[in-house]
Amino acid sequence: MSSIHIYWDESHFWGLMAARALEAWGIPHRLVRGSEIADGVLAGKSGEVPRLLIVPGGRAKGKADRLGLRGMDAICEFVHGGGTYLGFCGGAGLALTGPYGLGLSPWTRKGYTNRLHHFLSGHVHASLNRSAPLVPPDMLGPDADPLLPVWWPGRFDPVDDSVTVLARYGRPGPDFWVADLNLSTLPQGTMNDWENLYGIHLDPGFMEGTPCATANDFGAGRVILSYAHLETPASPQANRWLAHILDQALAGGHGQAGGPVPAWDVAALPVVWDDPVLMAARRAMERVIATGTSHFLLFWRTPWLLGWRRGLPGAGINALYSLICEAMARQPGDEALAFWDHRARGFGTLMALLARGLSGYLLAERLSMTMFHSAPDAVSAQGLREQRRALFGLPPEPGGIYADLAATLEELYWRLSRSGPTNR
C-alpha cells in the first residue's frame, strides 16, 4: 500500500525522475494511469486512499486526454475530499483553469509572445515566501537565495489573490540556457547587443519576480504547483524543499527520509533484464546519440539530460533512451513479461525504422547547417520538416513513430514498476 500515487501517463522521463526521487528516499509509491484514476483508484477502489497525488511534467493536454472526463472529475473529487495534489511543470499546467485544465487552481496559464522565451532551462535563483509552512524554515536564512531547476517551464497567469505564492523567480543561475545558448558563456552585454542590432529579445529577465511555485486550497484538500522541478537529481536545495513538502503532505515521518536525490547517470544503469529487443533498442539509441554528438547536434548537459540544437527532437531522443535504460534496470514480473512477449516484435520493428530514419534526418540537418551560407536551399526545409513529422511529429504534439514507441515503453515500465523497486 502507498500513500503516494504518481500519475504516470504522458510523463516520459519526468515521471521517471519523480519516481526515482521517492525510490532514493525509500518512500513507498505507486504509478497509476489515467484509466485507473477514472476507475476509482484515488477513491480506494483497489487499495487505500492515497494522501498525495504527484503529477510530473509532460504535456498537460496529453495528460487530460488520457484521463478523460471521468478521470479529471476523479482527481477533483480526490482533492476536494482532502487529498493533496502536487504538480510539476506540465502537472502544474494540468491543475490550472482553462482548456485541458482541472480547475484546481483559479489561476490560468500565461502564454509566450516570444516562443523562444519558453525554452528556458537550468537553475534559477528564487525568493521564497517566509511565512508559508510549505517552505522549509532551514532555507530561509538572511542570505537565502536558493537555486531551483526549471526545464522549459510554462507560466502562471494570476487572476486573483486566493493563491499563495511560495516562490518567485530571481536571476538565472550558472547553468542557465535559452534554447541552445548557454548564457554563462556569452560576454557581458551580448543580449543587449543582439536586441539593438537584430531586434531579438532573448534575455530571461522577464521572469524575475513572477511566480514559480504556488499553493491553494480546493475544498478540504490542498493544491501545490511548481514550475521548478524539485525532483531534479543532485539539486540539493530543490530536493530539500521537495522532502519538506512530502513531510507536510504525509503528516510527518516520510519526507525527511534522505538528502539530495542521487545523481542520475542513465547510460551507467545496470542491465538487470537483458532482453534482446530492448538491448538492440538501447544500442540503436546510443548510436543515434553518438551520431548527434559527433556532428555537434546533441550533447550531454548532465548524465541524465541531453542538450540539442534548436529545432531538433532532443527531448524525444532523451525520453526514449531513458525509458529503455530504466526498463532494463528492473527485474520483470510475470505481468511485464506477458505484455512484452506480445509487444516486443512490433516494438523492435518500429525501433529499427526510427533509428535508421533518425540517423539520416540528423545528418541531413547537419548538412543543411553546413550549406546554409553557400547554398541555403540545397537541403529542403520542407523535406526536413516532413522527416521530423514522420519520426517524432511536430511540436507541441508528439507523433510519428516516436509516439508509438514511447507509449509502449511507458506501458511496459508501468508494469515493471508493479514488480517492485528498481535494482541500482
In a structure prediction context, what are the per-residue pLDDT tens digits for the chain, which is 424 residues long?
Answer: 468 999 999 998 899 999 999 999 999 999 999 999 999 999 988 778 999 999 999 999 999 999 999 999 999 999 999 999 999 999 999 999 998 999 999 999 998 888 888 899 999 999 999 999 999 988 887 667 899 999 999 999 999 999 999 999 999 999 999 999 999 999 999 999 999 999 988 999 999 999 999 999 999 999 999 999 999 999 999 999 999 999 998 886 554 556 899 999 999 999 999 999 999 999 999 999 999 999 999 999 999 999 999 999 999 999 999 999 999 999 999 999 999 999 999 999 999 999 999 999 999 999 999 999 899 889 999 999 999 999 999 988 899 999 999 999 999 999 999 876 665 5
- Give me the pLDDT at residue 382, please: 95
- Give me the pLDDT at residue 177, please: 96
> For residues 216 and 74, is the Cβ–Cβ distance under 8 A?
no
Instruction: Give dist(CA 288, CA 358) in Å, integer.
Output: 7
- Give me the pLDDT at residue 258, please: 66
Site of grid cell 490550472: 96
- Give me the pLDDT at residue 367, please: 96
- Give me the pLDDT at residue 254, please: 56
- Give me the pLDDT at residue 45, please: 82
Label the pairing between strands 155-157 and 108-110.
antiparallel
> For residues 283 and 271, is the Cβ–Cβ distance under 8 A?
no
Which residues touch 170 (CB under 8 Å, ≥6 apart)?
A: 124, 125, 126, 127, 145, 208
- Give me the pLDDT at residue 1, please: 47
Instruction: Give dist(CA 163, CA 129) in Å, integer.
Output: 12
Within 10 Å of residue 69's Cβ, how many Cβ atoms? Answer: 9
- Give me the pLDDT at residue 37, please: 97
CA angle 57, 62, 63 (to 5 degrees): 60
Label the pairing between strands 52-55 and 4-7.
parallel
- Give me the pLDDT at residue 419, please: 77
Instruction: Give dist(CA 362, CA 298) in Å, integer.
Output: 10
Question: What's the predicted TM-score (pTM) here?
Answer: 0.95
> For residues 111 and 84, is the Cβ–Cβ distance under 8 A?
no
- Give me the pLDDT at residue 420, please: 66
Within 10 Å of residue 143's Cβ, how many Cβ atoms? Answer: 4
- Give me the pLDDT at residue 423, please: 52
- Give me the pLDDT at residue 111, please: 87
Element (H, E) at 60: helix 60-80
Site of grid cell 524543499: 241
- Give me the pLDDT at residue 139, please: 87
